[in-house]
Structure 1
Amino acid sequence: MAVTLQQIADKAGVSRGTVDRALKERGRINPEVAAKIRKIADEMGYQPNRAGRALAMAKHSIKIGIIIQSMETPFMQGVLEGAKDAKQEVERLGATVTIRKISELDSDKVIAAMHKMKGAGYNGIGLVASDEERLADTIDQFTEEGISVVTFNSDAAGTKRMCFIGQNAGQSGRTAAGLMAEILPDNAVVQVISGYASNQSHKERAEGFINELNQCRPDVKLLGIRYAYDNDRAAAEITQEVLKEHKELNGIYLAASGAKGVCQVIGEKGLKGSVKVISNDITDSNIESLKNGTIQFILGQDAYSQGYRPVMVLFDKLFDGKDPEEEYQYTEIVIKTKYNI
């Protein structure tokens, strides 16, 4: 009997998609892991059977839809890159992957895209969720009708989706609070700027930050949460307003996009270094602000994996019937300073 990719994956302790990438030397994979997989494949006598794969794929008719919200943000461009690479991989095996891009956070547009994909016979959907009851109901409805659903970047907890792929947002917020606590003076004043109240990840980051900072630095005055809707101009306006009302401001935590606008205002007012800034996402503009000292810490969350892995999880489910090993597949929280960028 021919050796399958899944048998190699089980022996190597990795996913079928990882085995495929290692044997075909494409995509992002740890070189040591790839070498181990190739050795196991040789030992098991694996021989690729492309004709058999194509026939199996024709029978499966795998159609995967990926819906990415907030596409105007630099972070989501990294998510898109990962999704495109995964699309190329599975389409070589005969599957179909369609990526739907939505510029803002809009659950109505997500639901409309889901129904359009359903009507076109898609049997797997990955999406950036938002905290909306109608979207949660739609996810449950699709799951009950046999369409596999995965959330990424922002979750829809409590629904029947297969799994969530993204950052542990609450832990990210707590991490940012711990860092902020170390660099603030006594009796400091801090502003939290988030993206959307309906984005679960934004919400959990902000709440994690506030709860942890209240615990470890009870002397700090928190001004609450302001929402910039992932918009640099809105974030800049908020920063100007806060500085006008609170000239003693010592820190800003960005739970979502908008750091470019914040840093512009801080630079113009000559407050670089005196107002401490911690931001999420390793983007080009954030890196520049980190290097010049306007931002003190960046917390990364692996945008590429958040786009790549949903496609592969859905493919494994639809092709092999393999369920995700974990409901919550968290990406790494990376801390960057100007010394390790």
Structure 2
Amino acid sequence: MVTMQQIADACGVSRGTVDRALHDKPGIRPEVAARVRETAREMGYISARLVPSMLKTWRIGVVLHSAASGFVQRLCTLFEHFPDNELLPVEIILRTMDGVDIQHQLALIDELVEIEKIDGLALMPLANTQIRDKINTLSEQHGIPVVTLNTDISDANRIAYIGPDNIASGRSAATLLGLVMGGKGHVLPITGQRSGHYADSQRLTGFAAELGESFPDIQILHPECCFLDSRLSERIALRAMEGDPELAGIYLTSVGRSGVCEALRKTGNAGKIHVVIHDITRANMDMIRSGTVDFVIGQDVQMQGTRPIHVLYDYLANRRMPEPRMQITDISVKFRCNLTDADFR
């Protein structure tokens, strides 16, 4: 059985400090108390005398859109298994949606608040002022903290954002594509949707800015949208290849990758027309291995699928605001020379 002295030794504090932290007594700094409580939980210390915030199970809602994408499916798995993998008193209530309908996302949030009675919300927000206003209402009127992930609404009253810098990701894509194209030729950007998803617009903004600044001899063709339809992205790519002999690159901001790769295979252009896509998933790694995709830009799914819950728990249990408020994931790049077995699991 774990004792208070063992907890004290693990934390490098006195037994009296542990007693004050676990029983909510004065005379201890909040950050020390939080560290002691977390260590006590990790070591399996159980006592009916523990402070209420430690005994309570916090109900945290998660809302994700674009559920058909491989990246979001990996996020779902991480959130679903979070209570099994982390020694925190949380219950995750996950809601997903296939598309990017604003009213659907609002309805899912209302269900979590009104029916499930959640204490906090981790949200992949759609790009709309109604979603911003809903976040503000949750925070200001219901006292429900919100963490945004993957994409952000910077003027909303969320306690933190955890995810990529999508503009920087777009710039990274432009640099990679510009280099393999030798700084010349035409490049076709293909977006997943025209509105609703910040990642599409922000990545395209960064991509166009970087190409214009660093590769002025590359002509960016008018962006096409596949509307989350891989068969449409295939037809878009086929038309571009048939109508533009100078087409040397294709950039996909989100979905539609499989359709473009099929078009490249059908026309024998795999490896001749360079392709850059986003998200490290097994399907995307297969596209690298087959020679149809040059680079995949990653955004740390593990951090996005776990860190929001840690931040919300710390705020709910300890009333501690996260630092920093903007927690940006690293940009990683996968190509044929650095694939590992783990990338295909």
* TM-score under structure 2 length normalisation: 0.83
2:325 & 2:74 partners in 1: Cα distance?
Answer: 23
Tell me which residue corresponds to 2:113.
118
1:105 & 1:57 partners in 2: Cα distance?
Answer: 36
**SS of residue in 2 equivalent to 1:257:** coil
Tell me which residue corresponds to 1:76.
72
1:236–1:265 Cα contact (<8 Å) kept: yes
**SS of residue in 1 equivalent to 2:324:** coil
2:158 is matched with which residue: 151, 157, 161? 161
CA, structure 1 residues 119+75, in 2 after alignment: closer, same or farther (shift >3 Å)?
same
Tell me which residue corresponds to 2:138.
142
2:178–2:211 Cα contact (<8 Å) kept: yes
1:81 & 1:286 partners in 2: Cα distance?
Answer: 18
Tell me which residue corresponds to 2:331.
333
Equivalences for residues 52-201 of structure 1 within 5 A: 56-57=52-53, 60=56, 62-89=58-85, 93-120=88-115, 121-145=117-141, 146-185=143-182, 187-196=184-193, 197-201=195-199
CA, structure 1 residues 61+289, in 2 after alignment: closer, same or farther (shift >3 Å)?
closer
1:80 & 1:187 partners in 2: Cα distance?
Answer: 40
Paired residue type of 1:105: V
Shift of 1:329: 0.8
1:82–1:305 Cα contact (<8 Å) kept: no
Paired residue type of 2:108: A
Shift of 1:333: 0.6
CA, structure 1 residues 50+293, in 2 after alignment: closer, same or farther (shift >3 Å)?
same
2:271–2:292 Cα contact (<8 Å) kept: yes
Shift of 1:56: 2.4
CA, structure 1 residues 79+272, in 2 after alignment: closer, same or farther (shift >3 Å)?
same
Paired residue type of 1:96: E
Q: Which moved more, 1:54-63 or 1:242-251?
A: 54-63
CA, structure 1 residues 219+59, in 2 after alignment: closer, same or farther (shift >3 Å)?
same
**SS of residue in 2 equivalent to 1:310:** helix
Shift of 1:96: 2.3
More relative contact order, 1 or 2 (CA 8 Å, 6+ apart): 1
Paired residue type of 2:205: E
Q: Which moved more, 1:51-60 or 1:217-226?
A: 51-60
Shift of 1:172: 0.7
CA, structure 1 residues 62+53, in 2 after alignment: closer, same or farther (shift >3 Å)?
farther
Tell me which residue corresponds to 1:28.
none
Shift of 1:245: 2.8
Q: Deviations over 1:112-161 (max 9, x none)?
A: 11111221321201111111111111111111021101111111121111
Equivalences for residues 311-330 of structure 1 within 5 A: 311-330=309-328
Q: Indicate yes or no: 2:200 matched with 1:202.
A: yes
Shift of 1:16: 6.3
Paired residue type of 1:97: I
Shift of 1:307: 1.6
1:16–1:316 Cα contact (<8 Å) kept: no
Tell me which residue corresponds to 1:34.
none
1:8 & 1:264 partners in 2: Cα distance?
Answer: 60
2:178–2:184 Cα contact (<8 Å) kept: no
Q: Deviations over 1:181-200 (max 9, x none)?
A: 11114541001112233211
Paired residue type of 2:145: S
Tell me which residue corresponds to 1:255.
253
Q: Deviations over 1:293-327 (max 9, x none)?
A: 21111101112221211112111111111111012
Q: Which moved more, 1:55-64 or 1:198-207?
A: 55-64
CA, structure 1 residues 59+246, in 2 after alignment: closer, same or farther (shift >3 Å)?
same
Q: Indicate yes or no: 2:253 matched with 1:246.
A: no
Q: Deviations over 1:6-31 (max 9, x none)?
A: x99968xxx969x669x85xxxxxxx
Paired residue type of 2:122: G
**SS of residue in 1 equivalent to 2:71:** helix
Shift of 1:243: 2.0
**SS of residue in 1 equivalent to 2:275:** strand
Paired residue type of 2:68: E
1:83–1:304 Cα contact (<8 Å) kept: no
Q: What fraction of aligned residue pairs are identical, expressed as a percent?
A: 27
1:279 & 1:16 partners in 2: Cα distance?
Answer: 41
Task: Give the paired residue count.
Answer: 312
Shift of 1:53: 8.4
1:86–1:312 Cα contact (<8 Å) kept: no
Q: Indicate yes or no: 2:284 matched with 1:278.
A: no
Tell me which residue corresponds to 2:9.
none
Tell me which residue corresponds to 1:42.
none
